[in-house]
Amino acid sequence: MDNMLASIKSGLDGVAEAIGQDDSEWTTHTLSRGPVEKGGAVYIEIGDQS
């Protein structure tokens, strides 16, 4: 689990660039493993904390 977030850092940088928000402003609420998917997958849910 410790390296899951680090392993998708470049992907998160791409999401941050696409939505125009610095990822230093993000808070990670849940990091979990899901069912194994052929080829792998990462699902990111983005929401407003307000």
Q: Give Cβ neighbours of residue 26 (< 8 Å, ≥ 6 apart).
A: 12, 16
Residue 28: per-residue pLDDT: 80
Torsion of CA 8, 12, 26, 50, to 10 degrees: -120
| pLDDT < 70: residue spans in the chain | 49-50
Contact between 15 and 46 (Cβ < 8 Å):
yes
The structural domains of the chain, with segments of one domain joined by +, span 1-50
Minimal CA–CA distance to 11: which of 40, 49, 37?
A: 40
pTM higher than 0.75: no
Residue 2: per-residue pLDDT: 74
Q: Give Cβ neighbours of residue 49 (< 8 Å, ≥ 6 apart).
A: 27
